[in-house]
Amino acid sequence: MSKSVIQVEGFKELSAKLKVLPDKVKRKELLKILGQVANATVAAAKSFSPVSKKPNVQSGKRTYKVIQPGNLKKSIGKIISKRNKVNAVLYVGPRSKGRKNDGWYGAMVHGGTKKQAANPFMDKAFNTTKGQVTADAEVKVAAYIQKQINRLSN
């Protein structure tokens, strides 16, 4: 079986120009694109998330807090990874740090506990939107790269 070879003229120059762009600029733009694409998954996750009929109480040795119905649904959103400073990484899920609607218990609802059956609402959201998100991200990233090529070629 023979492979067809495609030769792109000016690829070395283009590659050098793209490497000149600061990583911070590339990451910021890609996070914008990923944020736009992730909106469908956020909406699906909110639609699949369970809502209790009555308020629940979180109590422990040092805490006593009433969790209102719909709190988990309100906490679902986009989370930007702080660990990876170079690559653009964005997650969709219950947010918990420093928020009014604290979804810290989302993993327990999703995976289940000894006393509660699992409700994999995030898996359902992912499965309903995975093809659409991938296609949208591919198109938008290609458009961004083309925009950078046009800008750098001038």
* Better pLDDT: 2 or 88: 88
Torsion of CA 20, 24, 26, 32, to 10 degrees: -160
Domain positions in the chain? 21-153
Model pLDDT, residue 53: 92
Hey, how many other C-beta atoms are within 10 angstroms of the C-beta on 37?
21
**Tokens linked to 145:** 């790269």
Counting every residue written for the chain, the total comes to: 154
DSSP state of 93: E
61-69, long-range: CB < 8 A, 24+ apart: 67/105
Question: Which amino acid is residue 39, in one-letter code?
Answer: N
pTM: 0.76
CA 87 distance to own-chain centroid? 13
**Does 2 have pLDDT greater than 60?**
no
For residue range 99-127, list pLDDT tens digits in order: 788 888 889 999 999 999 999 999 999 99
